Copies of this chain bind each other. A is one copy, B any other.
Amino acid sequence: MYLVPGVGLKHEELERRRRVLNSFASQGFSVDIAAVSSGPLSIESYCDEYVCVQPTLELALKTEQTGYDGIIIGCFGDPGIEAFRETLKIPVVGPGEASMHVASMLGYGFTIITILKNVVNPLKVLARKLSLEDKLVSVRVIDKPVLSLSENVENTKIRLLEEGEMAVKEDGADTLVLGCMSEAFLGLSEFLQEKLGVPVVNPVGVSVKTAELLVVNRLSHSKLAYPPPPKKLVV
Contacts and interface: CB of A to CB of B under 8 A. Distances in A.
Interface of A: 7, 24, 26-29, 37-42, 44-51, 53-54, 57, 80, 82-83, 85-87, 94, 97-98, 101-102, 104-108, 116-118, 121-122, 124-125, 128-132, 134-135, 145, 168, 174-175, 190, 193, 197-199, 201-202, 205-206, 209-210, 212-214, 216-227, 229-230, 232-235
Given A106-B221, A121-B225, A134-B131, A50 B54 contact: yes
Contacts of A28: 26-27
A132 B133 CA distance: 10
B106 A217 contact: no
How many copies make up the complex?
Answer: 6
- What 3 A-B pairs have minimum CB-CB distances, sorted nearest first? A26-B26, A45-B229, A107-B225
Contact of A118 (B51, B85, B230): B230
B219 A213 contact: no
A197 B207 CA distance: 25
Contacts of A206: 213, 217
A227 B83 contact: no
A24 B205 CA distance: 19
A168 to B, nearest CB: 7
Given A50-B83, A132-B131, A98 B107 contact: no
Contact of A224 (B51, B98, B198): B198
B48 A51 contact: no
Contact of A174 (B82, B202, B225, B232): B225
B86 A45 contact: yes
B175 A225 contact: yes
B217 A202 contact: yes
A128 B130 contact: no
A134 B97 CA distance: 16
B198 A222 contact: yes
A64 B135 CA distance: 28
A214 B230 CA distance: 35
A105 B217 CA distance: 14
Contact of A102 (B39, B135, B213): B213
A50 B82 CA distance: 9
